[in-house]
Amino acid sequence: MTKTNSRDKRRLLVRQARLDDVPRLVELTALVYTPEWGHSAEMLRGQQAHFPEGQFVAEYDGEIVGYCATFRIDEGTALKPHTWTEITGGGFGSRHDPEGDWLYGMEVVVHPQMRGMRIGQRLYTARKKLCTDLKLRGIVFGGRIPGLSKAIKRFSSAENYVQAVIEGRRRDPTLSFQLRNGFEVLGLLHNYEPGDHQSLGYATHMVWRNPALHDQPDVPHASGGLPMPSTVRVATVQYQQRRIRSFEEFAQQVEYFTDIAADYDADFVTFPELITLQLLSIENEELSPNDTIRRLSEWTPQVRELFGNLAVRYNINIIGGSHPTRMDDGDIHNVCYICLRDGTMHEQEKLHPTPSERNVWGITGGDTTSMIQTDCGPIGVMICYDSEFPEVARHLIDQGALMLFVPFCTDVREGYLRVRYCCQARAIENQCYVIMSGNVGNLPGVHNFDIQYGQSCILTPCDFPFARDGVATDSTPNIETVLFADLSLDNLARARNSGTVTNLKDRRFDLYETRWRRRGLPDMTHD
């Protein structure tokens, strides 16, 4: 077996520029731009003096083969029309603002003989890392469009040419590269660099937004205007239905799992749909299915009080599964009580009762679904069958939800998989987390609640920052257990802003939209 001497390996690295690099950088920029338009030694020293951490060189086998220059600038200056000379202070970087919230890219050059080795990409990556390390809003610059001069007759204007490149109908050696690297075009800068004859003096006004910032696009803050945590710990209970003798026994079981979740410092704990059907085993009476549900709704005050008190006592946000509740008009709705640890309580009714729930139990669907603001960011709840209707999830996501909780109750594997597959789709298409919690075990003698099949899980989008298969964690089917997962809101923001796919950004609002009717409003139709 032979060993390779490290001295025989050519080494490529990107590092911060130094003053002793200046003579070689003068040569490099002269080679790329001609001696007349290359950077002088004075300009290069000025760039390093103003913002030394923002200047990078690419070095290959000891030779400098690339250079990247940046400085910080305020948003108002960066995003309004400008020329290269104006904004860079004549190439010296003298407009550098130590408090500036944007990174301006004033220069990237690569040795002509080294193109094809992704030197430019490495320099752009160094820029992006600097931007994220400094927590700046993004990178902005004027980009060359060297293919314009040869194509101007065909496209008749610079605007048409740029649009053709954006749409993929034309390739530009510089602009196409920048688009592939996640930059977007804000517009055209006129007379940006009059000496750039290939670009006819134009430049594309380019921007890259820092994906680590939650408000790009807008991601709501936590309740009370507080910044959201970077990571949220969620727990989901795979709950075994068993016979009980009293409400106190039911309360002890719910408190047991709440205590466990709190001991593990969870921010949320989720219980399954129709968890309270267990209460029917107390009296163990033979009732008709309709009477069964109405009898169960009599426990509503105790159920609300139980979950509300536990949330405050154990300092945890509780998604209380669901409970059949009699409404003021006499209808029975399947309601999830969301009890926050600050003492507030929210209700989310199931919108879509299953055929069995409608026909056997007489359950009626609710009319609205609303995002709920918590101290860990905005959430939404979809009760079981609701997850199989993509409009529900999209409506919650449009309101700002980052996590969707799905209490479910399914009898056989086929029914479970309908819910599971739809929840995974919701996580992918909405770039959000979905937390499922289901029942296991059996309650003989309780109408329409004979057997249970459940496999609780916590689902993620399918992209590089997340779990390989889009499953943060899942359980062994039909075994009572508690699952935990730490969900990164930072990764979610990055995925929404600059993931491999950006579903929320790429929706075609020019082709379709989802509109929800507001129930109970007067008819606005005019005669």
* Domain definitions of the chain by residue range: 12-209, 231-498
User: What SS3 class is residue 310?
Assistant: helix
Of residues 454 and 2, the one with the higher pLDDT is 454
d(CA 362, CA 309): 30
Structure confidence by residue, pLDDT tens digits, 352-391: 999 999 998 999 999 999 999 999 999 999 999 999 999 9
Using alpha carbons, list the distances in angstroms from residue 281 to 248, 294, 303, 321, 362: 13, 15, 16, 18, 20
| Mean local confidence (pLDDT), 274-291 | 83
User: What SS3 class is residue 35?
Assistant: coil
Structure tokens at 524: 């606005």
d(CA 280, CA 242): 11
Residue 225, pLDDT > 70, answer: no
pLDDT at 364: 96
214 and 497 Cβ atoms separated by less than 8 Å: no
pLDDT at 521: 42
Mean pLDDT, rounded, of the chain? 89
Element of type H or E holding 269: strand 268-271
Confidence of residue 223 (pLDDT cuts 50, 70, 90): low
First to last CA, the chain: 91
Tell me the DSSP string of 338-387: EE-TTS-EEEEE-S---HHIIIII-B---S----EEEBTEEEEE--GGGG
148 and 200 Cβ atoms separated by less than 8 Å: yes
285 and 334 Cβ atoms separated by less than 8 Å: no
CATH of 12-209, one of 3.30.1300.10, 3.30.1360.120, 3.80.10.10, 3.40.630.30: 3.40.630.30
Give me the residues paired with residue 421 across strands.
Answer: none
CA 173 to chain centre: 31
- 231-498 folds as Nitrilase/N-carbamoyl-D-aminoacid amidohydrolase (3.60.110)
Tell me the helices (H) and strands (E) count for the chain, helix number first.
Answer: 15, 20
Residue 1, pLDDT > 50, answer: no
Among 209-223, 468-482, 492-506, name the most confident range: 468-482
Structure tokens at 441: 């075990």
| Residue closest to 280 by CA, chosen among 445, 141, 395 | 445
d(CA 28, CA 355): 73
Active site positions, annotated: 273, 350, 384
142 and 204 Cβ atoms separated by less than 8 Å: yes
d(CA 116, CA 111): 10
Q: What is the DSSP letter of 451?
A: -
User: What SS3 class is residue 209?
Assistant: strand
Residue 307, pLDDT > 70, answer: yes
What count of other Cβ atoms lies within 10 Å of the Cβ of residue 273? 24
d(CA 179, CA 170): 13
d(CA 274, CA 251): 15
Peptide bond into 217 cis (omega under 30): yes
Tell me the DSSP string of 50-105: H-GGGEEEEEETTEEEEEEEEEEE-HHHHHS---HHHHHTTTT-TT--TT-SEEEE
d(CA 432, CA 461): 6
pLDDT at 402: 94
In terms of phi and psi (left: phi > 0; alpha: psi -120 to 50; beta: otherwise), the region of 9 is beta
Structure confidence by residue, pLDDT tens digits, 244-255: 999 999 999 999
pLDDT at 9: 52
pLDDT at 2: 39
Domains 12-209 and 231-498 share a fold: no
Structure confidence by residue, pLDDT tens digits, 184-216: 999 999 999 998 899 999 999 999 999 877 655
CA atoms lying within 13 Å on the CB side of residue 241: 29
| Residue closest to 128 by CA, chosen among 54, 46, 25, 17 | 54
Mode of pairing for the β-strands spanning 403-408 and 433-441: parallel
Structure confidence by residue, pLDDT tens digits, 399-438: 889 999 999 999 999 999 999 999 999 999 999 999 999 9
| Residue closest to 404 by CA, chosen among 419, 428, 422, 382 | 382
Task: Enumerate the H helices of 156-210 as residue ranges.
Answer: 158-166, 175-180
* Tokens 């929404």, residue located: 496
